[in-house]
Structures are given as C-alpha cells and as structure tokens.
C-alpha cells in the first residue's frame, strides 16, 4: 500500500459552496441593483487579486507585525478612467492596541514611510505595471468591467 499523505485540514473560516452562493445571491439580489442604479451602469460584483498581490500583502503584514487585515468597501471616484464610481476593496493592516481593539495601521504615519516610498521608487523595475498605472497597492481587477465569460463558479 503506498504511503498516504494526510489531507490538509480546511481553514477555520471555510464556508461551503451553499453558504457562499446564498450570500453572493443575497448581495446580487438586494444591494447590487441599488448600486448599479445609483451609478447608472453595472457595478462591481467581484474583485480578483493575483497570488503575487496576496503574497506581497502577507509580507507587509509580517513586516508590520500586524495582527490582521481590515477590508473596507470603497468606490473609485467619478473621474477614474476605467472604474468610475465602482465598488472597490481597500485592504488595511491592523494591530492590537492597548485597549485590545484592532486598530488600522496607516503606512504614511509610520516613521520609515518616507524611506520606504523612496526605496520603492528607486526599485521601480520590480513594481508591477498596474501599480505604475494606478499608484495603488490595493488594486484588484473589478468585475465588471474586467470579466471573462465562464470564469465564475458562483452566481
């Protein structure tokens, strides 16, 4: 009998397909039409992030000795060339403060920010092209408009 590798347990935050589908449908049937109507075009239904983006965010969380990540819902401004008024997600590292509350870490307020941004600009060849265009670490691919037929398994 071949050696069996034990299966990796699922993460504690796993939700099944049915619960995910129900929550997605709830959004698409209630809030999405309101947002779409308010901006006069299809609003964002999902946002894709590359593995590199997630990996770099993880490295940043480790560098900051962060305790977690807060996801804010936001919207691009009306003059954005590609995603005017569309929903976006902003990822903000957090730390556990003395009041035992998860407080946002604002990178611009950290003592090494000026040095880090200078270093980033000096090493621009290593920065993904999308960062150069949008100057935004949190840039993802919102759908719509960046959608491809058949790529979704959820409603």
CB atoms within 10 A of CB 146: 14
Tens digit of each residue's pLDDT (9 = 90 or more) over 15-46: 999 999 999 999 999 999 999 999 999 999 99
Q: Which residue has the higher pLDDT, 4 or 138?
A: 4
Tens digit of each residue's pLDDT (9 = 90 or more) over 44-99: 999 988 898 899 899 999 999 999 999 999 999 999 888 899 999 999 999 999 99
Residue 132 has pLDDT above 70, yes or no: no
Q: What is the pLDDT of residue 31?
A: 97
Task: Say how far apart CA 155 and CA 147 lie, in whole Å.
Answer: 13
Cα separations in angstroms, 55 against 60, 106, 132, 140: 9, 19, 18, 14
Give the tokens for residue 64.
């900051």
What pTM did the predictor assign? 0.80
Q: What percent of the chain stands above pLDDT 90?
A: 59
Beta bridge partners of 92: 70
> Look-up: residue for tokens 């049915």?
18
Q: What is the pLDDT of residue 144?
A: 84
Render the burial of 29-58: b for 16+ CB within 10 Å, e for the rest: eeebeebbeebeeebbbbbeeeeebeeebe
Tens digit of each residue's pLDDT (9 = 90 or more) over 100-131: 999 999 998 999 988 988 887 776 666 555 45
Task: Say how far apart CA 122 and CA 116 lie, in whole Å.
Answer: 10
């Amino acid at each position: 009998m071949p050696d069996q590798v034990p299966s990796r347990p699922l993460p504690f935050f796993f939700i099944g397909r049915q619960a995910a589908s129900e929550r997605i449908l709830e959004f698409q049937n209630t809030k999405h039409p309101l947002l779409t109507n308010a901006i006069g075009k299809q609003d964002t239904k999902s946002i894709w992030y590359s593995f590199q983006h997630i990996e770099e965010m993880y490295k940043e969380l480790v560098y900051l000795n962060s305790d977690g990540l807060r996801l804010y819902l936001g919207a691009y401004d009306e003059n954005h060339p590609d995603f005017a008024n569309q929903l976006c997600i902003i990822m903000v590292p957090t730390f556990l403060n003395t009041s035992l509350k998860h407080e946002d870490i604002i990178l611009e307020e950290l003592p090494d920010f000026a040095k880090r941004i200078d270093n980033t600009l000096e090493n621009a060849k290593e920065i993904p092209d999308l960062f150069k265009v949008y100057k935004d670490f949190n840039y993802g691919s919102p759908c719509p408009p960046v959608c491809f037929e058949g790529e979704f398994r959820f409603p």
